[in-house]
């Protein structure tokens, strides 16, 4: 199955971001991708954290959800829409939600980001807890690919990457492919992004697809980029350093089967 990890440098204006996402999804489809994954905050990188509140949508209806459903149908793609803000019932917080759509435009999965980023090194400070409410459930969905294989896909978002127990829970649900749409900062990305992605692939003997924000944004934030695909043995097989673009790779389900047969570590877990 050919996958596309889409790297963006999202701006403040939602419509401009959706326009760029549409063009990149079209590029992925033209290259033969079956699954395209957008980065975290693909639809907006606000001037302030609280900008998410004004753009929150009700689950099942809204501009961004309509865009994702329509694009899936238009391009004949499975699309995982990075993240978008969905209402929580609390006017001061939103969920940071990743939604998966089938080519018939039906939403097949929703994952609300569980782990919320906090970082303060004295020069940079981020605290997602100010406006984002945490999710609580690991989520997988099934994707029947054109070659007849039924992929089991585990969902996650950005800061989740630091919590291996989430990925082990997804592997226990049968996940062969782990998605990590992200917006790592330049500081934390340079230090930890690649090693964490490779570790999650190695630990779970699974493919990892990680689309990212990558560049200097209109709001002044600088994200790390390096969108990548990692194979079940922990090898980086495709990547893009910075700026927007599409990272393509053909995933082989048999690599998961072989790796798990040769090194059955998942069956050896005792905790």
Residues 98 and 196: their CA atoms lie apart, in Å, by 20
Give the bridge partners for 95, in sequence order: 86, 133
Q: Is 140 helix (H, G, I), strand (E, B) or coil?
A: strand
Structure tokens at 203: 């630990």
The residues that are catalytic are 40, 113, 158
From residue 2, how far is each of 83, 132, 168 by CA, in Å?
Answer: 22, 33, 24
3-class secondary-structure state, position 194: helix
Distance in angstroms (rounded) separating the CA atoms of residues 240 and 221: 19
Alpha-carbon separation of residue 196 from 81, 180, 210 (angstroms): 22, 11, 11
Q: Where are the alpha helices (DSSP H) in 31-136?
A: 51-54, 63-75
Report CA-CA distances (Å) from 217 to 47, 82, 242.
Answer: 10, 17, 12
Query: Which residues, 6+ apart, have CB-to-CB distance to 157 below 8 Å?
Result: 40, 83, 96, 98, 111, 113, 180, 181, 182
């Amino acid at each position: 199955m050919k996958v596309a990890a889409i790297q963006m440098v999202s701006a403040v204006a939602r419509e401009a971001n959706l326009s760029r996402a549409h063009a990149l999804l079209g590029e992925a489809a033209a290259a033969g991708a079956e699954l395209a994954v957008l980065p975290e905050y693909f639809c907006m990188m606000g001037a302030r954290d609280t900008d998410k509140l004004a753009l929150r949508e009700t689950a099942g209806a809204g501009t961004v959800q309509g865009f994702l459903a329509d694009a899936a149908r238009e391009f004949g793609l499975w699309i995982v829409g990075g993240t978008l803000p969905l209402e929580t019932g609390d006017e001061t917080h939103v969920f940071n939600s990743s939604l998966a759509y089938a080519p018939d435009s039906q939403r097949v999965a929703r994952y609300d980001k569980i782990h919320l980023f906090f970082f303060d090194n004295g020069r940079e400070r981020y605290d997602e807890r100010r406006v984002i409410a945490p999710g609580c459930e690991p989520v997988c969905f099934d994707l029947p690919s054109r070659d007849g294989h039924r992929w089991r896909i585990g969902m996650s978002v950005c800061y989740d990457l630091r919590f291996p127990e989430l990925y082990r829970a997804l592997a226990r649900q049968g996940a062969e492919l782990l998605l990590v749409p992200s917006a790592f900062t330049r500081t934390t990305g340079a230090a930890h992004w690649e090693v964490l992605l490779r570790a999650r692939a190695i630990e779970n003997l699974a493919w990892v697809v990680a689309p990212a924000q990558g560049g200097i944004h209109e709001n002044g934030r600088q994200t790390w980029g390096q969108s990548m695909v990692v194979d079940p043995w922990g090898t980086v097989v495709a990547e893009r350093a910075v700026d927007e673009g599409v990272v393509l790779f053909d995933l082989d389900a048999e690599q998961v089967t072989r790796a798990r047969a040769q090194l059955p570590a998942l069956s050896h877990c005792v905790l």
